[in-house]
Homo-oligomer: A and B are copies of this chain.
Amino acid sequence: MTLDAVLAHIDETLPEALERLNDLLRIPSISTDPVYKDDCARAADWLAADLTALGFDAAIRPTPGHPMVVAHGQGPGTGDGRHLLFYGHYDVQPVDPLNLWHRDPFDPVIEDTPNGRVIRARGASDDKGQLMTFIEACGAWKAVHGSLPGKLTIFLEGEEESSSLSLVPFMKEHAAELTADIALICDTSLHEDKYPAITTMLRGLVQEQITIHAANKDLHSGVYGGAAANPIRVLTKILASLHDDQGRVTLPGFYDDVDELPDAIRAQWQALPFDHAKFLGDVGLSVPTGELDRTPLEMLWSRPTCEFNGITGGYTGTGFKTVLPAEASAKVSFRLVSRQNPAKISAAFRAHIRAMLPPDCRAEFANEGNNPASVMEITDPAFEAARTALTEEWGLPAAYVGSGGSIPIAGYFKSVLGMDAMLVGFAKDDDQIHSPNEKYDVESFHKGIRSWARILARLS
């Protein structure tokens, strides 16, 4: 009964909720461009005011970059009585190239499309629309019951699209204040654009740049070719040695800390609708290229990789130049899973290369980032409770899914604050986040609010 009243209120007041979202979308809070510094502050102010109106004790908290918004709320618990922390970010990506937008990115509009109504604006999906689903759920609860649903902390960042430089220092400084029983994050997607999903595994990432040096200057291949070391040849030999014929990474110990998928998750993934032919076909491919004995979803979510993201050496312009270059370099990244240690993988990579270096050659390394994988403890009953809530709302079985990419905040909640994070989001693959004409489905917004109301009813 309690929940039903809240859901009904959400349905009745959707137009007003959309208006509030549009107000926030009108603020061009592009965090990476200093020109929009005041706009970022305005967005933080707007959110603090909105949260204050709902009964939160909300404050703007300065950082060396853009401010954080931290809000604490307390109401009678409605379910398991957990202290929940919700994280989102109010900053958005730049809008270039502006000429590819069909309208002003900061003049939001509700558009009718062949696939339903959408909210069109920069940030509609990433992340203003998603974070407002949670705030609106709290607001609906407050409107119906006069109080917030349990003990809540809301933590909103303004630097997610510009490297989150202030995030970890702020979390460390305010660890006690920010620690809750579990973190909720709304920055992910529906599975296959329609199944509600909780992301429980995120891959980590090691980024290494390697440069091979040989001669002390570029040489002419007519004079030196056949006798002088060629760094491109050395580099390609090294890179080619990093995968075996089965698609496995050859670094010694690479798989030591890789856990096999728990049976429960494996069974779910096997049952999960995933059109891998379409997934690859959309980008002109047809055959998965990872480890031969793994399914495509495993390759993407639960298996580590070694990828080459860039390579350069010698003459790369038009025409030809018979140069033997003095150096060649590559950017190599590893997606990590389970308990793989970034520093250990980085060290194994460098040792492998040093062992393969021929005479006269020297390797220079630069680490460009290390993040471990995040694996949530789904034995916490909160996960099953949320899954049930999502299944009820969407009428389709909610799934535990993985993510091939990294969402560093999830790792920080674990490493800095010792909290697991539950990632629930309602974005779709065609939301054009980071691209022109970003949108968020009105259905995602509406059912997203309802989803959080259901989850809050069970957890808080």
Interface string of A275-295 (1 = CB under 8 A from B): 010011001111111100000
Interface string of A258-271 (1 = CB under 8 A from B): 00000000000000
Cα(A221)–Cα(B369), bound, Å: 15
Are B230 and A319 touching (Cβ within 8 A)?
no
Question: Which residue on B lies nearest to A406, using beta carbons?
Answer: B222
Does A205 make an interface contact (CB < 8 A)?
Answer: yes
- Total A residues in contact with B, Cβ cutoff 8 Å: 77
Are B220 and A405 touching (Cβ within 8 A)?
yes
Does A203 make an interface contact (CB < 8 A)?
Answer: yes
Q: A36 CB to closest chain B CB, in angstroms?
A: 22
Contacts of A403 in B (CB 8 A): 222
Are B331 and A320 touching (Cβ within 8 A)?
yes
Q: With A203-B222, A226-B404 given, is the CB distance from A312 to B316 under 8 Å?
A: yes
Are B280 and A227 touching (Cβ within 8 A)?
yes
Are A299 and B227 touching (Cβ within 8 A)?
yes
Are A369 and B236 touching (Cβ within 8 A)?
no
Q: With A226-B404, A406-B222 given, is the CB distance from A309 to B280 under 8 Å?
A: no
Cα(A226)–Cα(B404), bound, Å: 9
Are A228 and B283 touching (Cβ within 8 A)?
yes
Are B312 and A312 touching (Cβ within 8 A)?
yes
Does A75 make an interface contact (CB < 8 A)?
Answer: no
Are B236 and A311 touching (Cβ within 8 A)?
yes
| 8 A Cβ contacts from A309-358 to B | 309-316, 319-325, 328-331, 333, 335, 358
Indicate which residue in B224, B227, B311, B368 contacts A320 across the interface (CB closer than 8 Å): B368
Contacts of A239 in B (CB 8 A): 232-233, 236, 240
Question: Which residue on B lies nearest to A222, using beta carbons?
Answer: B405
Indicate which residue in B289, B312, B320 contacts A207 across the interface (CB closer than 8 Å): B320
Are B320 and A369 touching (Cβ within 8 A)?
yes
| 8 A Cβ contacts from A174-221 to B | 203, 205, 207, 209, 214-217, 219-221
Indicate which residue in B290, B322, B404 contacts A205 across the interface (CB closer than 8 Å): B322
Cα(A222)–Cα(B404), bound, Å: 5
Q: A291 CB to closest chain B CB, in angstroms?
A: 8
Q: With A312-B311, A333-B221 given, is the CB distance from A240 to B236 under 8 Å?
A: yes
Does A225 make an interface contact (CB < 8 A)?
Answer: yes
Interface string of A409-430 (1 = CB under 8 A from B): 0000000000000000000000
Q: With A311-B314, A313-B311 given, is the CB distance from A207 to B322 under 8 Å?
A: yes
Q: With A207-B322, A224-B404, A319-B368 given, is the CB distance from A230 to B285 under 8 Å?
A: no
Question: Which residue on B lies nearest to A369, using beta carbons?
Answer: B320
Contacts of A322 in B (CB 8 A): 205, 207, 307, 309, 333, 405
Are B311 and A228 touching (Cβ within 8 A)?
no
Cα(A38)–Cα(B383), bound, Å: 83
Does A303 make an interface contact (CB < 8 A)?
Answer: yes
Question: Which residue on B lies nearest to A333, using beta carbons?
Answer: B322
Cα(A226)–Cα(B290), bound, Å: 5
